[in-house]
Amino acid sequence: MNKTWWKEAVIYQIYPRSFMDSNGDGIGDLKGITSRLDYLKYLGIDVIWLSPVYKSPNDDNGYDISDYQDIMDEFGTMEDFDEMLAAAHERGIRIVMDLVVNHTSDEHRWFVESRKSTDNEYRDYYIWREGKDAQTPPNNWGSCFSGSAWQYDEETSMYYLHLFSKKQPDLNWDNPKVRKEVFDMMTWWCDKGIDGFRMDVISMISKTKEMPDGEVTDLYGDFSPYCIHGPNVHKYLQEMNEKVLSKYDIMTVGETAGVTIEQAKQYAGEDTHELNMVFQFEHVERNGSGKYGKWTNEQLPLTVLKKTMSRWQTELYGKAWNSLFWDNHDQPRAVSNFGDDRPQYREASAKMLATCLHMQQGTPYIYQGEELGMTNYPFQSPEEFRDIESINAYKEWCSDGVVSHEDFWPCIIFKSRDNARTPVQWDDSWQAGFTAGTPWIAVNPNYKEINAKAETADPNSVFHYYKKLIELRKKNPIMVYGKYDLMLEDSEELFVYTRTLDEEKLLVVCSFCDHETSFTVPDEFVGAPCLISNMENAYGKAEMTLKPYEAFVLKR
Ligand code: TEU
Ligand code: CA
């Protein structure tokens, strides 16, 4: 297996809108990020993945881009960006940009032109179709953000495709001019000195030519078979690799919802010349099998979680590279989704989850605030939502009467993307130190207890536990390159696995339950020293009683 810097790195995701506000307008910004780089340096991360900072009307918080070579007004200027990049590089931190090129904003110059007439030179930059008749879209596909995936446009009496909001028209990647525009734009950023790309829904860029109705799964037809991993997706990524990526020492990670292991080997194979790694979503998305589409308030059973993660660990080993994550800006908070956010268990379970993930094989991602053990937000009413997905879903499922508020509410507040988007809790002062003004989305009321100032001062905090895990990775190549083997696969209480590299071996033991459990240490690890643990215990003894959410790693 080739050794590379991005395999050995720990990546930290910044969602700029909620990270740090420098000028009191309630919106996080680039100067805010620059002001907190020393904090990230202290934590020890190597790379920042920056969610979109490009010019955008913010229908989907920057994932709707109106100019790829300019900065969003609220976030600052290109000078602020250059300063931030230089300041990060000075500290040895790399910056990976979010690349959102499945779609643009409807306010992008290309789309403004495209919708003008059927013979406009930009017409074919997007996907236009005639409706079945004047009132009926070309097919029954639903958009990820509710409603039809087609929007009627009066100018030319045709529909355009938008797999996300109607302000996010899908680009037509079959048009070579579109590909050239995108590759040129990427080259421009690479020449500026950025260190890579996280590619938004990159698995959706190629659509089938025929666009039949999809199977009706919840309220609309499913577009997946026609739009995800489409016919030319690998061809286009190889072209991108040849024309742009291969020319720079950068890293790439593709967001590939619905990806299978076989497909991942193609997208991120050691020698397929596409991407370095992909995000798979099996352990977070449950393939829409929640109570109401993706909406549910049930945690995944531990046996299912282990099976899913372990398959990726074993089957990609030596063939393609894993990315490891519990959460991001689209997911509930890790400790609420996979751990236990009740006050008596929050710290222990947050550290346990960190152990479980960072000891696995692949590149770990930390989502802002995860290193503090930040929790889901206690939403009281739909008026508190800011996210287009949550707002639309509440309307479609509840206000329109598909399910009752009582049934739907616990599900939407458990899964809402806004849980991850409340401001980072820096200290116990006004608005958690995020802004001097009024934040664009409410601060979690638990900021007095959970905040960076308190945790950096407390050597036993979740923060310091993450810091230690990152340090251990630098000293123990086995954490990066070791082979993974699951133990006790039927246990609903313990997640146990080993890592092996040459003569070295690690035993990783994580309790996922809120009661005591017994555990017998395998003979070869009895007496082995403990590398890290989230509690005090007699590590090295054969027969152990584990406390709720206990986690430890033995090394021999
Ligand atoms: O997300 C794409 C995606 O497939 C989902 O995670 C999605 O956000 C949602 O959960 C659908 O139910 C990416 C970005 O990460 C997300 O923030 C954007 O809203 C989306 O693409 C559109 O650009
Ligand atoms: Ca601001």
Domains and CATH numbers, the chain: 5-103+176-201+233-378+420-469 (3.20.20.80), 109-161 (3.90.400.10), 481-555 (2.60.40.1180)
Closest Cα to atom 18, ligand 1: which residue?
63
Closest ligand 1 atom to Cα of 164: 22
Question: Which one of the listed residues 200, 274, 282, 330 is annotated catalytic?
Answer: 200
Closest Cα to atom 17, ligand 1: which residue?
330
Residue of 310, 373, 353 whose CA lies nearest to 549: 353
User: What pLDDT, in 10s, does the model give residues 133-153?
Assistant: 878 999 999 999 989 999 999
Residues 6+ apart with CB under 8 A from 207: 127, 161, 170, 174, 226, 227, 230
Active site residue 213: no
pTM of the full structure: 0.97
Ligand 1 neighbourhood includes 466 CB (under 6 angstroms): no
Closest ligand 1 atom to Cα of 64: 23
If phi > 0 it is left, if psi is from -120 to 50 it is alpha, else beta; for residue 79 that is alpha
Testing ligand 1's pocket by substitution, the residue of 330, 337, 391 carrying the most ligand atoms inside 8 A of its CB is 330
Ligand 1 neighbourhood includes 60 CB (under 6 angstroms): yes
pLDDT for res 46? 98
Closest Cα to atom 14, ligand 1: which residue?
200
Q: Which of the ligands is closest to the CA of residue 33?
A: 2
Ligand 1 neighbourhood includes 294 CB (under 6 angstroms): yes
Q: Which of the ligands is closest to the CA of residue 98?
A: 1
Active site residue 106: no
pLDDT for res 219? 82
Residue of 505, 500, 513 whose CA lies nearest to 551: 513
Distance 382 CA to ligand 2 centre (A): 25
Q: Which of the ligands is closest to the CA of residue 72?
A: 2
In this structure, are strands 504-511 and 494-501 parallel, antiparallel, or unpaired? antiparallel
Amino acid at 302: L
pLDDT for res 287? 55
R_g of the chain, CA atoms, integer Å? 23
pLDDT for res 288? 60
Question: Would you state the structure tokens that stand for residue 429, as one six-digit string?
Answer: 């002062």
Closest Cα to atom 4, ligand 1: which residue?
257
| Residues lower than pLDDT 70 in the chain | 286-289
Amino acid at 64: D
pLDDT for res 420? 98
